Amino acid sequence: MRRLRTCLGAAAAAVSVAVGAGTLAATDAAGATSALSNNWYAAAPYLMPLDNDPPDAAAIMDATGLKAFQLAFVLAPNGGGCSPTWGGTAAVSSDTAVKAVIDKIRSKGGDVSVSIGGYGGTKLGQVCADASATAAAYQQVITKYGLHAVDFDLEEPEYENTAAIRNEIGAAKILQQNNPGLYVSVTTAGTADGTGWFGKQMLLEAKSQGFTPNNFSIMPFDGGFNGAASQTSALTNFNQILQSTFGWDQATAYAHEGFSGMNGRSDTGEIFTQADFQTVLDYATGHHMDRFTFWSLNRDRQCATPDNGGRTSGTCSSVAQNAWDFATYSVRFAGATPPSTPPTTPPPTQTPTPGGACTSAWSPTAVYTAGDEVSYGQHNWKAKWWTQNETPSAVPWGPWQDEGAC
């Protein structure tokens, strides 16, 4: 299962384990933090906070009502070793950039899950000696950020490595035991039949270790899928796999099942529109499934041209949309109602008014809130929401509205 990552963004997990807690009392350097409800962790879309033109999480929260984000990706160091880094290069132990993103989200009443793995790079399960060592590395991440949620996104080549998967599943079990109240989800690749051979082997590995998460999710994309009908068919087939593997009845299997999609154009050229997301959301809620997420918020905005020249991008969806359209489906799955008119909807075209007085100059260090006005590039600009160090420009998903020439 190919996932765009370094240049275009990694997809949501060929194998992922999300760990959240409705009652877990975790702490970070700033003190105790409150966990969200399980539904929010189960609905958290993926966000790369350091790559793929990261959008402002606070702006997405204001526009959609979203509260939870799945931050990606934690990997082993590129130079080797069993310690967590962001993208294989930035040690978690010394990180401040991602911590600032997390603090900003929490200051607005939200929370995050940290995603481990992704497509490309070296995963900790591949290099750590055993499950205990793998779990110890992940515990550093939980402790550093005071996490209520962790996502194991295990893809090729780790996905096909029996020992590595044994380490990851074993680590997830250890974290679950050592952090009472954890919400745990495991996601594997999706196929028309539900999941393939490696996905079934992972389920058997979890069964053999006596590890029972809240749900197992599949990613029905990048495998010859064609819209929502093919995805819901795969979810139905996967439900039957869960029943036969664990001895669950249909309702119990659905209560342990999840969906992880890709918004817009997939890596292999499949197209999933807002209508497709609505259909899958109706299926998920109608069958009382436990998880609904997607890759990614970095892509949840329209490209400069709707089809992006027939390419898949890590920074836009390649389909016609308003900014954050797809995030609203996660909000609905969590049980909330998105704002009826998101502030990120492109505003009407502004007619410049030459000769007007310029307001005070924009500053990259100043904090602006909705309604604040600045001047930049001989134009006046009005802030649509909270923003800092985001240069005024007329992109539809940006925080600034052009008020005309000055």
Residues carrying an active site annotation: 155
Asked if 401 contacts 384 with a C-beta cutoff of 8 angstroms, the reply is: yes
User: How would you classify the pairing of strands 182-189 and 150-154?
Assistant: unpaired
How many other β-carbons are positioned within 10 Å of the β-carbon of residue 240?
A: 13
- How far apart CA 65 and CA 69 sit, in angstroms, is 12
Asked if 283 contacts 235 with a C-beta cutoff of 8 angstroms, the reply is: yes
DSSP 356-390: PPP-SBP-TTSEE-TT-EEEETTEEEEESS-EES-
Asked if 104 contacts 58 with a C-beta cutoff of 8 angstroms, the reply is: yes
For residue 234, the 8-state DSSP code is H
- How far apart CA 326 and CA 25 sit, in angstroms, is 31
Place of tokens 């436990």: 290
- How far apart CA 296 and CA 313 sit, in angstroms, is 11
- How far apart CA 173 and CA 356 sit, in angstroms, is 64
Assigned token pair, 346: 């492109």
Phi-psi region of 370 (alpha: psi -120 to 50; beta: other; left: phi over 0): beta
Asked if 28 contacts 145 with a C-beta cutoff of 8 angstroms, the reply is: yes
Return the bridge partners of 272, or none: 264
